[in-house]
Amino acid sequence: MNLLSTEHKFMHKILLIGVAGLVGTLARVWLTELMGEWWNGKFPVGTIIVNLAGCFAIGFLFHLTQEKYVIDPVLRSAVLVGVLGGFTTFSSYGLQVFSSFQEGEVFLAMANVLISNVAGLLMVWAGYAVSRTF
């Protein structure tokens, strides 16, 4: 009976994270497409905006859900792993940097690396700091 209960909880967690991941993925696609239409250039503005927003959100929510208002670990995983894991696009980022280098666009590749990594880490810190004011 206890094993069945544990399996049920695990499946509930996996399904919740999967649905949350779908929500995050759809939000990423929508925002990336919107920014792509707005920017209409080679530089991956949509991916950078998604990654920076995701970095800010994970810093903000990490503090709120672990240090300030401790919430159910399953719900926390659904938001941090599911929604934000589906929303952020680090694998797409890696491929875009690689492709920029392959196409000889070294400046664009390096700008993407610098902005995504430095600003991304700053956004995690900023999200964490802002959440501490609540």
Pair 25, 87: CB distance under 8 Å: yes
Range of the domain at 40: 2-131
φ/ψ bin of 126: left (φ > 0), alpha (ψ from -120 to 50), beta (otherwise): alpha
pLDDT in tens, 91-116: 888 889 999 999 999 999 999 999 99
Question: Do 74 and 12 touch, CB atoms closer than 8 A?
Answer: yes
pTM of the predicted model, to two decimals? Answer: 0.78
On the question of pLDDT at 67 being above 90, the answer is: no
Residue 4 confidence (pLDDT) above 80: no
Other beta carbons within 10 Å of 43: 15
Residue 20: count other Cβ atoms within 10 Å of its Cβ. Answer: 22
pLDDT in tens, 7-38: 888 999 999 999 999 999 999 999 999 998 88
How many structural domains does the chain have? 1
